[in-house]
Amino acid sequence: MGAPLPRDPIADAQHNWEERGWSDVAAPMAAITAIMRTQQILLARIESVLKPFGLTFARYELLALLSFARSGALPMNKASALLQVHPTSVTNAVDRLERAGLVARSPHPTDGRTTLIELTSEGRTVAKRATAVLNSEVFGQSGFESADVDQLIRILGSFRRNAGDFTD
């Protein structure tokens, strides 16, 4: 956005919390705020890389999910569950991907309520190329130490499990 700040605004907030006598929750507040900000930074990097492909992160995630499905097709409700987003968000993403010719809707063979989303061959190509660039430009240069990556996976995995994302 702009130039770096002279001080860490989240550390400042943590100090403010402690000064007000909320020391018991100051650290979790700072951690949660840091997660918010980190997500914002990472999302911006990802979207910047995907822009040349005409993709957003939401649409890329759907393409990637489909590309890993054996049949190359998934019911919309399944995609919604796996991506952990609201069904209307999937409808929105599919609308745009379909208009771009990267996926196609088709009726479910036995359940009239269900719509299957299927990768087109162009969709598969775009997914492959976008993934390659994301791997090299974002995931390969995350800025996290290797040991910290393991810590994040452990800590956030535990959090997500406790939050009810999955049972394992």
CB-nearer residue toward DNA: 18 or 115: 115
103 beta partners: 119
Among 39, 91, 125, 141, binds DNA (CB under 7 A): 91
Q: Which of 116, 36, 124, 107 is nearest to 76 (CA)?
A: 116
Quick one: what does residue 37 bind among a second copy, DNA, none, with the CB cut-off 5 to 8 Å set by partner type? a second copy
Does 40 bind DNA (CB under 7 A)? Our answer is: yes
Query: Which positions from 143 through 162 interact with DNA, judged by CB under 7 A?
Result: none
CB-nearer residue toward DNA: 64 or 85: 85
Two structure tokens written together for 31:
């951690």
Tell me how far apart the alpha carbons of residues 73 and 150 are, in angstroms, rounded to a whole number: 32
Quick one: what does residue 39 bind among DNA, a second copy, none, with the CB cut-off 5 to 8 Å set by partner type? a second copy
Tell me how far apart the alpha carbons of residues 162 and 81 are, in angstroms, rounded to a whole number: 17
Q: How far is the CB of 26 from DNA (least distance, A)?
A: 22
Quick one: what does residue 23 bind among a second copy, DNA, none, with the CB cut-off 5 to 8 Å set by partner type? none
Burial of 56 (0-12, 13-18, 19+ CB in 10 A): middle
Cβ neighbours for 133, distance < 8 A, ≥ 6 positions apart: 49, 53
Which parts of this chain interact with DNA (CB under 7 A)?
1, 40, 44, 56, 58-59, 75-77, 80, 85-96, 105, 108, 110-115
